[in-house]
A and B are shown apart, each in its own frame.
Chain A
Amino acid sequence: MTRFVITALVWFTAFAAQGVELLSGPTVTQSAVGATVSWRTDVACGTRLSYGTSLTKLDQKLEGPVGAEHSVTLTGLSKGSAYFYEVGSARQKLGAGNFTFGSEGRAVAQSAPKAAPPKSMLDRLVDAITPEAPKPKPDATAPAAARAPPTRQTWGRIDSLQDHFDRHGADFQSKNPDDYAAQAWLFLQRAKAGGLPMKWDDADDSLRVYDPKTRAFAAYNRDGTTKTYFRPNSSSYWERQPGKLIQPAQLPFK
């Protein structure tokens, strides 16, 4: 009886501790009539894709059968329009990305995690009882990442980086979260060299930087770590930001 309980507990732990994982994708393949988004999961689960022309309004939903290979085709798309999407099941979001329909038949940017090999039951059990391993170091082959300090030194709230990358990485064709964080750090270096306007807000000791030519905008914490980096749509965005204009020598950090 005891043996049965322990066995049941081990199986329960292995399954309960691990949600569905994305093994590959999502990838976008375009044809004359639409775009097909495909992805693969480690176990069979539902198929759901939400999409729209704005990241903040994924108001179109498509569903498919339960399985580990997922594929959904979007039709009725407008040529030249940008589309944002999220994929997953009804219970879990697994990936996101965007593409411009008709742009050489490929996705403009993908923010999906890299594919991982399938995990065995033993691996899952080990995962469930082992503390989280340290994250791999930034990709040194990426141009921006190679020139910047490690991401943990440049990004403010490291656990928020993935979400900022998912949302804004495509603005700068960032390859991955580390690349995105490095680009934000390099943007600050340009500002510190006197090349870009900066505003300091005493209310929360934050720094804002803007490039009028490229419309790139970033906000930094009092220690110089990044809060966010994106390209605003509004032409008056910079003018509406609070704070006083400052020179590099006035910054509280090096």
Chain B
Amino acid sequence: MKVSTHTCPVCGFDQLREAPRAKSGGASFEICPSCGFQFGVSDDDDGLTYDEWREDWITRGMEWSSRGIKTPRGWKPEALLKSVLKKKK
């Protein structure tokens, strides 16, 4: 069975389990295992923008965030980040 995946608008990680936002605007509450952004909390409660989180994550060395989900084989944060920044333009 094919599992649909979604892309993190912060870091470009392309294996999120849920869309960050539903059509209602409601958040998924998923924590991106790559950059650690939690949709509906980091933004709606902590007031941080995608850009602010991304900048901080880059400053901290773009480390894999999750302790429960293993780093995927071949994970290349620089390439994923590049693709998400390209989409922004």
**A residues apposed to B, CB below 8 Å:** 50, 54, 56-59, 90-93, 96, 157, 159-164, 166-167, 201-204, 206, 208, 219, 227-228, 230, 232-234, 237, 240-243
Contact = CB atoms under 8 A, between A and B. Distances in A.
Given A90-B61, A93-B63, 4 more contacts: A57-B56, A159-B69, A167-B38, A243-B24
Contacts of B68: 159-163
A90 B66 CA distance: 15
Contacts of B38: 167, 228
Minimum-distance CB pairs A-B, first 5: A162-B68, A203-B24, A204-B22, A203-B22, A242-B24
A160 B46 contact: no
B48 A160 contact: no
A201 B79 CA distance: 35
15 contacts: A56-B46, A56-B56, A93-B65, A160-B31, A160-B33, A160-B68, A160-B69, A167-B38, A201-B26, A203-B23, A227-B28, A227-B29, A227-B30, A228-B40, A237-B45
A56 B24 contact: no
B31 A56 contact: no
A54 to B, nearest CB: 7
Contacts of A90: 61
Interface in B1-54: 17-19, 22-26, 28-31, 33, 36, 38, 40-42, 44-48, 53
Nearest to B25: A242
B88 interface: no
Contacts of B47: 234
Interface residues of B, number: 35
Contacts of B89: none
A241 B48 CA distance: 17
A56 B63 contact: no
A157 B69 CA distance: 11
Given A56-B42, A242-B25, A242-B26, A163 B56 contact: no
B87 interface: no
Given A57-B56, A157-B17, A228-B29, A162 B67 contact: yes
A232 B45 contact: yes
B60 interface: yes
Contacts of A56: 42, 46, 48, 53, 56
A162 B33 CA distance: 11
Nearest to A232: B45
Given A162-B68, A228-B38, A167 B31 contact: yes
Contacts of B18: 204
